[in-house]
Chain A
Amino acid sequence: MMKIKLSVQNPQLCVGCQLCMYACSRRSGSGGLGQPAISVRSSGGMSKGFTIIVCRCCEEPPCVEACPAGALVQVKTGGIRLQKDKCTGCGLCRDACIIGAVFWDPVACQPDICVQCGQCALFCPHDVLVLSKSDEGGT
């Protein structure tokens, strides 16, 4: 089975342009920075470089484990999916993700997690983000 995984390969090349965040927001067809599931912030001032926060497809995702409603599902092709109708908005998934990659939609009161679509990597001008595909066999 083909598995996809987004990874931060070259954080030292990040220039802080945030094009990845805009690309993520554009998935919904709008501009601006409405609810991107990726964040780029300075590592304590611009001169110190940038920290990129995005779901890293944990093999045993704590967010899924923490969800009491079973609303988060780990998909075999990679990444996590939210079943919106099951989500109660308790926020335990957000607390469980210690890297801060479970973003929060305050209007829907639900998590916003990367779906590994790779739009951010497509618009990263310096190959900081890479979407890799691997054939892990099986079905």
Chain B
Amino acid sequence: MKTLHRVLIVDMSAQSFIVEERPDLFSDFIGGSGVSSALLREYRGRSPEGPIVFAVGPFTALYPMASKTVASFLSPLTGNYGESHAGGRSAVSLRMAGYGALVVLGQAPFPQYLVVDEEGARFKDARSLWGMKNCSTPARIMREQEGGAGLRSILRIGPAGEKKVSYASVTTETYRHFGRMGLGAVFGMKKLKGIVLKGNRGIRVSDPARYKTLYQELYKEMTESDIMKKYHDLGTPANILPLHEMGALPVCNLTRKSLTGPEADSLSGEKMAARFLSRRLACAHCPVACIHLAALRLEAPSEPYFYQTSYVSYDYELLYALGSMIGVTEARDVLRLIDRVEQYGMDAMSTGVILAWITEAGAKGLLPPGAFVKNPPSWGQTEAYLDLIDKICFAPSPFFETARKGCAALAEVYGGKDFALVFGKNEMPGYHTGIGAHLGFLLGIRHSHLDNAGYALDQKMDKEVFSSPDHLALTLIKEESFRHILSSLVVCFFARNIYSPSLISELSRAAGFSLPESLLEKGLELYRAKLSLKEELGFRWEDLSLPRRVCETQTPGPQPDQAFARETLRAARRLLQDTPATLFEE
């Protein structure tokens, strides 16, 4: 575990780095999100734009499906704690380079990219890469400049990050992202174009025989049971039809209750696979391969018999945000929109929700004359949306400057808060299942659907859970507490039903480290530590509220309701101050 305890601290302003041994940190906070948030707290005064912290976990490169890197930063979108998790190869590469965490401080004197390996950090001139209009060319050049094929990971931003769009993402391995909350803009503020991570080394375990046996059992469960089948076959787009059929797929900024059958069918995982699926990919050390690439063949506009073929990664959230949410239901058009935000390096979910708000605000006459060169778009107008994405990224007008700050900022300036679908200033994920989902977004540390999976509670319709605000708050807190353990071990949430608390304890013993007996209580401790950091950064419970629109549009599960939501938030705030033993007492 010695390699995990090493923290590489890079100062872009001073162009220097140091390595610190921090066993204390990994003992107290496990790794991943626990460690990254703790390091952010330690270093947050050291850079005006805030540090960037990456951390991996004790299972990384030891067990399958534990290959997430967690980034902690100050979110330019919410103005508070930002946390984003990415798959790909970065977690394994960082650990194989000999580090459990990487802290990036300061600003570079000119655009640079970092190379991180066993020797530490090197600062490389990226001026020739700055200003390129896509994410892929800079990555290719970094790939050609640096060695380590197969054992490296390349993180990079596109023009959106350079221009500090508040919801710019960081792309890794072309198809995975630190997508949410604007890490790309923080890279941009630091003039940090990218990071190349590379390394290969072995990790000693305390009980090799037991380690091998447990590994084999884990692998068998992942590949032979039905638990991972959904992600394996169609990927997350398998959710489109079930969510459509239950009436939970958001459509046209929730102005429509649902898509028509043929519209939903066009975006379904089944139809996407039949028409476009060209390749499947996996994150490092994952047998599932949930990444699905579509081959998008487009005619060149200028000359016949010329084509451009792009490979576009599609997931449920992207089909929702750049499809149903803005009324685009022809799958080819959705792929074109995904490709555009991918090339610019923008978060697809935030972008889709912002496009949806602009469409509705435009129709209601809220937007200033001259905000657009053409008329504001109507639902489903792909060309207009492509044009808008360009303008959000590049246009200098005051309207688009505000659009670069996010949906909450737009509604603050131009009105239309009732239909600005934001939760804690983060744009809405694609689950209009009921009050469980929406309270989950509000309550979650990252305001993400993945924080506590409230949408799953709506779908189960467990009456006991929704019988009182206390019951709902407690259920969400319990789930989120356990997920703080998973994200600290950096286990992929798709494997949450495999990595049970008892198995986690066994796996850690075989590897040679110990975890607290009650993982749920430890998870709650990590949850509270992050909440306390958020409060230090200005988070106020009173600022949390449901957008009015989600209460007006029917949900399949319990209908969102402002009064019940307020009570549940009060209950959650109270419960989070209880002792763990009291809280989790059966």
Question: How many Å from the CB of A110 to the closest CB on chain B?
Answer: 16
Q: Which of A35, A40, A49, A125 contacts B150 (CB 8 A)?
A: A40
Question: How many Å from the CB of A96 to the closest CB on chain B?
Answer: 21
Q: How far is the CA of A69 from the CA of B511 in the complex (A)?
A: 40
With A34-B202, A41-B149 as given contacts, are A46 and B62 in contact (CB-CB < 8 Å)? Answer: no
**Any A CB within 8 A of the CB of B571:** no
Per CB-CB distance, the 8 closest pairs between chain A and chain B, nearest first, are A34-B202, A29-B208, A41-B150, A47-B311, A17-B282, A125-B287, A31-B62, A15-B289
Chain A residue nearest to B289 (CB atoms) is A15
Q: Which of A28, A32, A39, A46 contacts B61 (CB 8 A)?
A: A32
Q: How far is the CA of A29 from the CA of B281 in the complex (A)?
A: 28
**Any A CB within 8 A of the CB of B177:** no
- In this complex, the member of A29, A32, A35, A39 whose beta carbon has the largest number of chain B beta carbons within 10 angstroms is A32
> How many residue pairs at the A-B interface have CB separations less than 8 Å?
96
Q: A16-B281, A18-B284 are in contact. List 19 more A-B contacts (CB 8 A).
A: A15-B280, A17-B286, A17-B287, A17-B289, A19-B219, A21-B150, A28-B202, A32-B62, A32-B200, A32-B201, A33-B151, A33-B201, A34-B200, A34-B203, A46-B173, A46-B175, A47-B293, A47-B311, A126-B289
Q: How far is the CA of A47 from the CA of B311 in the complex (A)?
A: 6
Contact mask for chain B residues 200-221; partner A; CB cutoff 8 A; 1 contact, 0 none? 1111110011011001000100
Question: How many Å from the CB of A31 to the closest CB on chain B?
Answer: 4
Q: Which of A28, A34, A45, A125 contacts B174 (CB 8 A)?
A: A45
**Any B CB within 8 A of the CB of A81:** no
Q: Which residues of B contact A46 (CB under 8 A)?
A: 173-175, 281
Chain A residue nearest to B202 (CB atoms) is A34
Question: How many Å from the CB of B326 to the closest CB on chain A?
Answer: 26
Using CB atoms and an 8 Å cutoff, list the residues of chain B in contact with chain A: 61-64, 92, 95-96, 136, 139-140, 143, 149-151, 173-175, 200-205, 208-209, 211-212, 215, 219, 223, 279-287, 289, 291, 293, 311, 511
Q: Which residues of A contact B143 (CB under 8 A)?
A: 45
Q: Which residues of A contact B204 (CB under 8 A)?
A: 30-31
Chain A residue nearest to B293 (CB atoms) is A47
With A18-B150, A33-B92 as given contacts, are A26 and B212 in contact (CB-CB < 8 Å)? Answer: yes
Contact between chains at B202 and A35 (CB < 8 Å): yes
Q: Which residues of A contact B311 (CB under 8 A)?
A: 47
Contact between chains at A125 and B203 (CB < 8 Å): no
Q: How far is the CA of A17 from the CA of B289 in the complex (A)?
A: 7
Contact between chains at B205 and A17 (CB < 8 Å): no
Q: How far is the CA of A28 from the CA of B208 in the complex (A)?
A: 9
Q: Which of B150, B202, B215, B219 contacts A39 (CB 8 A)?
A: B150
The 28 listed contacts between A and B (C-beta, < 8 Å) are A15-B281, A15-B291, A16-B282, A17-B283, A17-B285, A18-B285, A19-B64, A19-B287, A21-B150, A25-B202, A29-B205, A29-B209, A30-B205, A30-B208, A31-B204, A32-B62, A32-B95, A32-B202, A33-B61, A33-B201, A39-B150, A41-B149, A45-B143, A45-B174, A47-B279, A47-B311, A49-B279, A123-B219
Q: Which residues of B contact A22 (CB under 8 A)?
A: 61, 64, 285
- In this complex, the member of A16, A26, A34, A45 whose beta carbon has the largest number of chain B beta carbons within 10 angstroms is A16
Q: How far is the CA of A41 from the CA of B280 in the complex (A)?
A: 15
**Any B CB within 8 A of the CB of A42:** yes
Question: How many Å from the CB of A105 to the closest CB on chain B?
Answer: 11
Q: Which residues of A contact B208 (CB under 8 A)?
A: 29-30
Q: Which of B136, B280, B289, B511 contacts A31 (CB 8 A)?
A: B511
Q: Which residues of B contact A19 (CB under 8 A)?
A: 64, 219, 285, 287
Contact between chains at B174 and A30 (CB < 8 Å): no
Q: Which residues of A contact B149 (CB under 8 A)?
A: 39, 41-42
Chain B residue nearest to A35 (CB atoms) is B202
With A15-B280, A47-B311, A123-B219 as given contacts, are A32 and B96 in contact (CB-CB < 8 Å)? Answer: yes
Contact between chains at B205 and A31 (CB < 8 Å): yes
Q: Which residues of B contact A17 (CB under 8 A)?
A: 282-287, 289
Q: How far is the CA of A53 from the CA of B463 in the complex (A)?
A: 55
Q: Which of A15, A18, A29, A33 contacts B212 (CB 8 A)?
A: A29
Which residues 78-135 in A have Cβ within 8 Å of B in the complex?
123, 125-126
Q: How far is the CA of A26 from the CA of B61 in the complex (A)?
A: 11
Q: How far is the CA of A3 from the CA of B309 in the complex (A)?
A: 44
Question: How many Å from the CB of B117 to the closest CB on chain A?
Answer: 13
Q: Which residues of A contact B293 (CB under 8 A)?
A: 47
Contact between chains at B174 and A33 (CB < 8 Å): no
Q: Which residues of B contact A18 (CB under 8 A)?
A: 150, 284-285
Q: Which residues of B contact A34 (CB under 8 A)?
A: 200-203
Question: How many Å from the CB of B57 to the closest CB on chain A?
Answer: 13
Which residues 21-76 in A have Cβ within 8 Å of B in the complex?
21-22, 25-26, 28-35, 39-42, 45-47, 49
With A41-B150, A46-B173 as given contacts, are A125 and B201 in contact (CB-CB < 8 Å)? Answer: no
Q: Which residues of B contact A32 (CB under 8 A)?
A: 61-62, 95-96, 200-203
Chain A residue nearest to B88 (CB atoms) is A46
Question: How many Å from the CB of B92 to the closest CB on chain A?
Answer: 7
Question: How many Å from the CB of B158 to the closest CB on chain A?
Answer: 16
Q: How far is the CA of A35 from the CA of B151 in the complex (A)?
A: 11
Chain B residue nearest to A32 (CB atoms) is B203
Question: How many Å from the CB of B135 to the closest CB on chain A?
Answer: 12
Q: Which residues of A contact B285 (CB under 8 A)?
A: 17-19, 22
Q: How far is the CA of A40 from the CA of B152 in the complex (A)?
A: 11
